[in-house]
Amino acid sequence: MTKAIGSKIILDESDNKLAEDFRKCVEGLLESENVRELDNYSQHFNTSRLQHSINVSYYSYLICKYFKFDYKSAARAGLLHDLYLYNRHIQKLDQSHTIYHPKEALKNAKKIAELNEIEEDAILKHMWPLCRGIPKYKETIVVTFADKYCATAEFITQILKSGQKKNKSRTA
Ligand SMILES: [Fe+2]
Ligand SMILES: [Fe+2]
């Protein structure tokens, strides 16, 4: 585990209280083979799906902790919300990826962990309002918001990085 996008906190650091608390929330999930495999898929340009999932998990955790919501469930759902193991640009699906992948993520998440109702709701409805079903819990709304925030931050970071590379090659 490393840093979440835009954060200075190294999540692997054992002497950082916040990092330690976050790690406790997602304990057992990060070591799962399926979750580790997310590192082989890219999401939003060059961000790995694992990094994106850590980003969503960490910000969902922070927001829920601040508002005294169930931050553990939010962190776990954030980490598992995109647990699908296919490339959306290659895989042929019967449904749109937007509708299909939350269901696939929930199915895969249930194989590696026992989920509570909040976690199930947050994984299944993280594409809200683009998916069917209204979020049942405030933690679900936080995860959907964190997902969109992180996706935007990942896009912008990649655009800025590619702009810097182009500038460097022009001046070289
Ligand atoms: Fe997603
Ligand atoms: Fe996502």
- Residue 93: per-residue pLDDT: 75
- Dihedral sign, Cα of residue 9, residue 14, residue 20, residue 26: positive
pLDDT at residue 46, as a whole number: 81
Q: Where are the alpha helices (DSSP H) in the chain?
A: 17-25, 33-37, 49-66, 71-80, 97-112, 117-124, 138-171
Question: What's the pLDDT at 68?
Answer: 98
Q: What CATH number corresponds to the domain at position 95?
A: 1.10.3210.10
pLDDT value of residue 137: 98
Distances (CA, A) of 15 to 11, 27, 30, 73, 131: 10, 17, 19, 23, 40
Residue 114 CA to ligand 1 center (angstroms) comes to 20
Q: Which ligand is nearest to the CA of 151?
A: 2
Residue 156 CB coordination number (10 Å) = 12
Q: Cα angle at 154 between 118 and 124, to 5 degrees? A: 20
Say how many Å lie between the CA of residue 82 and the centre of ligand 1. Answer: 5
Split into its structural domains, the chain has a count of: 1
In this prediction, residue 1 carries a pLDDT of 61
| The pLDDT value given to residue 58 | 98
Do the domain assignments include residue 104? yes
| The pLDDT of residue 91 | 76
Residue 14 confidence (pLDDT): 73
Is 3 contained in some domain?
no
Evaluate whether residue 8 is within a structural domain: no
- Residue at 82 is within a domain: yes
- Give the CA count within 13 Å in the CB-facing half-sphere of 71: 16
Exposure string of 95-110, with b = 16+ CB inside 10 Å and e = fewer, is eeeeebbbebbbebbe
Is position 107 within any domain?
Answer: yes
Question: pLDDT tens for residues 82-125?
Answer: 999 988 777 777 788 999 999 999 999 999 999 999 999 999 99
Amino acid 87: pLDDT: 82
| Tokens standing for residue 34 | 């399926």
Provide the pLDDT for residue 170.
Answer: 65
pLDDT of 41: 93
Q: Is residue 9 part of a domain?
A: no
In a domain, 2, yes or no: no
Q: What is the pLDDT of residue 160?
A: 84
Segments of the chain with pLDDT less than 70 = 1, 165-166, 168-172
Give the model's pLDDT for residue 142. 98
Query: What protein residues have CB closer than 5 angstroms to ion ligand 2?
Result: 82, 147
β-bridge mates for residue 43, sequence order: 47
Distance 147 CA to ligand 2 centre (A): 5
167: in domain: yes
Which residues touch 13 (CB under 8 Å, ≥6 apart)?
19
Provide the residue range defining the domain that includes 37: 17-171
The span from the CA of 121 to the CA of 85, in Å, is: 20
